[in-house]
């Protein structure tokens, strides 16, 4: 049941996806669609330069894929702008794996737990309203320190947890994917890559529930 998921962005450069598939080492890929400004800087979302190619290659080769965006909003207005930008990137595309809101930036720490949790829940509920499988990505320390993980607002959403270690974390709240390393090597990729363990068959869940594309978008 456990599956290996690789995540990629522009930092991996131009990937030879045929070699990735032929390796048999990954069961799916999470692709960054929306990047953002440097750590600690105000929100300035952009389209990851490798997103379109990575998505197209995964589709061509039949590699299950999901997508994530790096969110830096510190208020509702910024969040809605980031969400609108993210949605445009998803529209017209289909995904076998979750659509992820990545929350981990330095600029969000001063908000405090309650405010950042509420803002994160707003982003996740908005993504969910598009008709896709919404998921939260955050780090073990960041989530424990700056979000009310497992609380009423966030416990209804699945979590992709980053914690680089050999033993599976036990943070006291559930998670469906564990990003356990950032230094893996993969045929077809010239740099280190992140790998995660997925404890659910997301492709089957999403297929059964019809959550593979933004509502009203072409599949």
Average pLDDT over residues 40-56: 95
Specify the pTM.
0.96
Q: What is the pLDDT of residue 106?
A: 96
pLDDT at 218 over 50: no
Q: What is the pLDDT of residue 216?
A: 65
Cβ-based neighbours of 134, under 8 Å, separated by 6 or more: 98, 99, 100, 101, 124, 125, 127, 128, 157, 158
Average pLDDT over residues 209-219: 79
Structural domains in the chain, sorted by start: 3-209 (3.20.20.80)
pLDDT at 161 over 50: yes
pLDDT at 174 over 90: yes
Kindly report, residue by residue over 51-90, the tens digit of the pLDDT: 999 999 999 999 999 999 999 999 999 999 999 999 999 9
Q: What is the pLDDT of residue 219?
A: 40
Cβ-based neighbours of 197, under 8 Å, separated by 6 or more: 2, 3, 4, 5, 168, 177, 178, 180
pLDDT at 137 over 80: yes
As a whole-number percent, the residues of the chain with pLDDT over 90 amount to: 95
Closest CA to 197 of 184, 211, 209: 184
Q: For the chain, what is the radius of gyration of the CA atoms?
A: 16
Rounded alpha-carbon distances, angstroms, from residue 12 to 50, 146, 194:
9, 29, 10
Q: What is the pLDDT of residue 1?
A: 78
How far apart, in Å, do the first and last CA atoms of the chain sit? 27
Kindly report, residue by residue over 143-156, the tens digit of the pLDDT: 999 999 999 999 99
């Amino acid at each position: 049941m456990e599956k290996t998921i690789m995540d990629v962005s522009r930092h991996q450069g131009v990937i030879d996806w045929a070699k990735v598939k032929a390796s048999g080492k990954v069961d799916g890929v999470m692709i960054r669609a929306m990047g953002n400004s440097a750590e600690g800087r105000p929100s300035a979302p952009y389209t990851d330069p490798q997103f379109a190619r990575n998505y197209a290659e995964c589709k061509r080769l039949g590699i299950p894929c999901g997508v994530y965006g790096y969110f830096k909003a510190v208020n509702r207005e910024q969040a809605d702008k980031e969400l609108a930008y993210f949605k445009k990137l998803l529209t017209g595309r289909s995904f076998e794996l979750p659509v992820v809101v990545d929350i981990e930036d330095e600029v969000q720490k001063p908000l405090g737990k309650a405010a950042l949790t509420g803002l994160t829940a707003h982003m996740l509920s908005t993504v969910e309203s598009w008709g896709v499988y919404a998921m939260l990505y955050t780090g073990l320390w960041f989530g424990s320190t700056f979000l009310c993980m497992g609380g009423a607002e966030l416990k209804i959403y699945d979590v992709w947890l980053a914690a680089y270690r050999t033993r599976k974390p036990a943070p006291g709240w559930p998670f469906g994917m564990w990003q356990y390393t950032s230094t893996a090597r993969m045929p077809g990729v010239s740099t280190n890559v992140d790998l995660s363990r997925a404890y659910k068959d997301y492709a089957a869940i999403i297929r059964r529930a019809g959550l593979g594309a933004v509502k009203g978008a072409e599949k």
